[in-house]
Amino acid sequence: MTTTPLIFILSVFAGAQTGNRLIPLKPKATRGRMVKLIKRKERDQLTAKDNSTLNPYTPPVARVRPGEAVEVETWDAYGGVVSPTQSFQDAAEKGLVGALNPVTGPIYVEGAEPGDTLVVELLGIDLPQWGAASIIPGFGALEGWLNLMEPRTKVCTIKDGKVLYEADHGKVLEIPVDPFIGTIGVSPAHEAIQTLAPGPHGGNMDCPDIKPGNRLSLPVSQRGALFGLGDVHAVQGDGEICGTAIEVGSTVKLRFSVEHKTIAWPRVESASEIMTVCSARPLEDAARLAYRELINWMTEYGWSRDDAYMFLSQAAKARVAQIVDPLYTVVAKLDKRYLKG
């Protein structure tokens, strides 16, 4: 992918919200305590500097304590420019500018220090009544492979736990929702990284395993971690090949904790699997990184390095999370039953 399409997207891929506005939630009680609500900015307050990067320079929008449950409002990846009555192309032709792939944050987590690990327990995702996917010429995994693609946006109803996708041939296809957080991460140590890009800090991993019921671990590089999230997807196929999933605004419920140990790349843990999430180009380097990090994680359970390497060749699973961002993302997985002594 060249840089020119990314610059184009930066100039138009966010702006005014014309629909899909979430109803503000009141604080909820959890085990007798109130849940803190961290609101997203108004659309006219979004900026590329503060909301389209994960960085150590933007002042925190909120502070949370380890063990505290919070609800965080997020914008969709379009920054609100798409609605049932306005396509992405319509918004682009109107010259809307603003924050690309905006995140809500930074959120300062008390007690998190460089070298620690921030653990994010994913408790829930509220979905709106519709989401949208787009083809954006100059962006996507098959750019240059499928010639003369026209820009288009398809708005899909979300109802009764399903995305209703109306195909061009007229049939409405039901896809079970499987919501997850597409962009989630912490501040890098010394720089601002655009939210379109994934890396060791997290970012735009577009990993469907970062979903309710799972735990995400992120390496901390700044005091307070300076955490941000956005770009929620109602559902996404592996690879996210056209460059968008079913993009939605949302409210996400989280709980944070801090572990005083150092990891190199994001880790995900489900009830049955451990997973490492790594990003690079070419794609095979992302896979190599993910498998290496999975081997490193296995050594924490008593495996020797070389034995873990050989065993993963027999038992590992993997998925390609996305092949559309500046770096590609691969998830390597191992069933937890193999970790028991």
CATH for 3-259, options being 2.102.10.10, 2.30.30.280, 3.40.50.2000, 2.60.120.580: 2.60.120.580
Look at residue 13 in the predicted model and tell me its pLDDT. Answer: 38
C-alpha span between 114 and 248 (Å, rounded): 32
Q: If we measure between CA atoms, which residue out of 207, 258, 233, 48 comes closest to residue 127?
A: 233
Look at residue 89 in the predicted model and tell me its pLDDT. Answer: 84
Contact status, residue 228 vs residue 103, Cβ threshold 8 Å:
yes
Q: In the chain, which stretches have pLDDT less than 50?
A: 1-32, 97
Q: What are the domain boundaries of the chain?
A: 3-259, 267-339
Topology given in CATH for the domain delimited by 267-339: Endonuclease I-creI (3.10.28)
Same fold, 3-259 and 267-339: no
Contact status, residue 54 vs residue 226, Cβ threshold 8 Å:
yes
Look at residue 4 in the predicted model and tell me its pLDDT. Answer: 32
In Å, what is the CA distance from 245 to each residue of 94, 118, 133, 157, 237?
A: 23, 27, 6, 14, 7
Angle at 253 between CA 29 and CA 258, to 5 degrees: 100
Identify residue 301 by its one-letter amino acid code.
Y
Other C-beta atoms closer than 10 Å to the C-beta of 140 total: 22
Alpha helices, DSSP H, located in 204-325: 283-299, 305-315
Look at residue 34 in the predicted model and tell me its pLDDT. Answer: 66
